[in-house]
Amino acid sequence: MSHSHLPIRHLVRQLEKSRAERDQRGATAPETKSIPNWVNAFVDELAELFEPFQGVARVGYEACQSDDAWEIAMFLGEKELVGGAADGRMVPVNFRFDIKGISNCFTQVTGVFWNAFPNSHVCFDGAADLSFLTVDGLVNGNAIRLQLHATPPDCVGPAMREHIDGRLELV
């Protein structure tokens, strides 16, 4: 399987958010922490558990530190079609995920939860993401709250572009 990560777009957004927060607090406030190497290594390990049913895909993620844990959301990025009648159409990637393999990535798993919101008052095209898996656990003594989503957040652009001639372009 071939894939890569989409952290750049998220890091840029995180930098913009950090800059705005710093401006609100004043220049003397402490800097927001960057994502530690062990979190990136954990994400890389989890990315191997995604398997697209067809073709290639790129794993994306968002990570931030809350008061009690590192919160990480992972997903496969969408493909944008370029050229032809479907030009500009965003296509989600069908995949499977090795749920059992998650336990090998954690030092200890403390909880696994399926979150489903079938009675949500939110009606939108991305309704498939009204269901996601959450795994709580420890990685080398650090608390992690992992969310696995079927689709990327609305604010994330395409992970790749597929041209009408079959070429793939990473975004």
pLDDT at 126: 53
Q: Which long-range contacts (CB under 8 A, 24 or more apart) does 110-118 make?
A: 110/136, 110/137, 110/138, 111/135, 111/136, 111/137, 112/136
Q: What pLDDT was estimated at residue 26?
A: 52
Per-residue pLDDT of the chain (171 residues; tens, 9 = 90+): 444 444 444 444 555 555 555 556 554 444 446 899 999 999 999 999 999 999 899 999 999 999 999 999 999 999 999 999 999 999 999 999 999 999 999 999 999 999 988 877 665 555 556 789 999 999 999 999 999 999 998 888 899 999 999 999 998
For the stretch 25-62, what's the b/e string if a residue is b when 16 or more beta carbons lie within 10 angstroms of its beta carbon?
eeeeeeeeeebeeebeebbeebbebbebeeebbbbbbb
Beta bridge partners of 87: none
Sole residue written with tokens 């059992």: 100
pLDDT of residue 8: 41
Q: What is the pTM of this model?
A: 0.75
Strand partners, 135: 112, 146
